[in-house]
Structure 1
Amino acid sequence: MEKETLSPADTDRIIEMAWEDRTPFEAITYQFGLSEQEVISLMRAQLKPGSFKRWRKRVQGRSTKHLKLRAKSVRRFKSSRQRAISGNAIPKSR
């Protein structure tokens, strides 16, 4: 999926997933078809410079953001706000 075809809701969800510590980049790739580098580019474009730097510093040292680096004891994490992976329908509170 190209970044240009992402809806605002999809963009919000990708940003939310990228901030979550236990959501690996592979899950974002599976749901939205964006590689890790494309997620980084999206985050750079959507976040303020300071927020982007904070996010990059946070995820660079996280083994939980990559499935192959995770400890075996870390199970799949599912946010309480997340519905079925295939649906990805989360109503935004306004």
Structure 2
Amino acid sequence: MSTHFLTINRLERVLTRGGVEAFDLDVGVNLIIGRPNTGKTKWLQTLDYLLGDAGDNPYVDDDDLEEDISEKYSVAKAHISNGIDLDVDDRQIR
């Protein structure tokens, strides 16, 4: 019997004005590093939101940003594989 792992291959945020921002992940441990206020935490909150976090939408009422981020994005997506099939989970942001 083989063991299958849940793998998150890619996160996407669809811009309301067209286009997509994407964050690709490799199999194994991924380090997310960068300067402050460049979106590292927001990508992790996006993943949490896509996996069904019962808390608030991370894109609404974000007091830390000058621009209301819920106006910038329309949909968030995660490309998730279980070793056999690939699934794309998406949720409306606004």
- The TM-score normalised by the length of structure 1 is 0.30
Q: Which has the higher helix share?
A: 1
Q: Which has the higher contact order (CA 8 A, sep 6+)?
A: 2
Q: Which has the higher strand share?
A: 2
Looking at CA atoms only, which structure, 1 or 2, has the larger radius of gyration? Answer: 2
- The TM-score normalised by the length of structure 2 is 0.30
